[in-house]
Amino acid sequence: MWSGNRRSGTCLRCCLVVFVVGFALYITEPALFSRFKKGFMLNNNNNIAHSCPPCTCDCPPSLSLMKIAPGLVNLTITECGKDDPELNKEMEKQFVDRLTDELKLHKAVAEEHAHHMNMTYLAARKLASQYQKEAEKCNTATETCEEAREQIEALLTKERKKTSAWERRARKLGWESS
């Protein structure tokens, strides 16, 4: 039985080695094949290289933007949007007016941001107040429980003293615990 395990282990190792070598050849095959092929091509090209004529290219010249769309070059920025009444009205405003409008917009955004921040602050204060009230309730309840525990402990001590006194009297009168 031991030799069977040994044979199967040896067989497994051999299969693993064959697999690894095959996998390595599979991965490196394209590079090796192209290098091997180039070696043959160089030997053959030395004999053929002188018989091949030089290539001539008869390509048309590239088209320029002027030839493709001549109207694009003639456009000016002043013609842009001249039929849009809203744009014309906006462009006629003075620079100061536009700057004033932008400042008003910034002010409105800042006021909205401040309002949102104030609302968040108030909500946080309200929540903190609620937590504070709950904490005070917990502290009061804990103190009450602690006082009750101390009172019960004192009563229990008194009861133990009374019980031990009664037990001593009973033993003096002949009582024995079984």
pLDDT surpasses 80 at 102: yes
pLDDT surpasses 70 at 12: yes
Measured in degrees and rounded to the nearest 5, phi and psi for residue 61 equal -65, 150
pLDDT digits (tens, 9 = 90+) for 111-121: 999 999 999 99
pLDDT surpasses 90 at 3: no
174: left (phi over 0), alpha (psi -120 to 50) or beta: left
How far apart CA 27 and CA 57 sit, in angstroms, is: 39
pLDDT surpasses 60 at 76: no
What is the 3-state secondary structure of 1-70?
A: CHHHHHHHHHHHHHHHHHHHHHHHHHHHHHHHHHHHHHHHHHHHHHHHHHHCCCCCCCCCCCCCHHHHCH
pTM given for the model: 0.34
Query: Which secondary structure element, helix H or strand E, spans residue 97, and what is its range?
Result: helix 95-172
Average pLDDT, the chain: 80
pLDDT digits (tens, 9 = 90+) for 109-166: 999 999 999 999 999 999 999 999 999 999 999 999 999 999 999 999 999 999 999 9
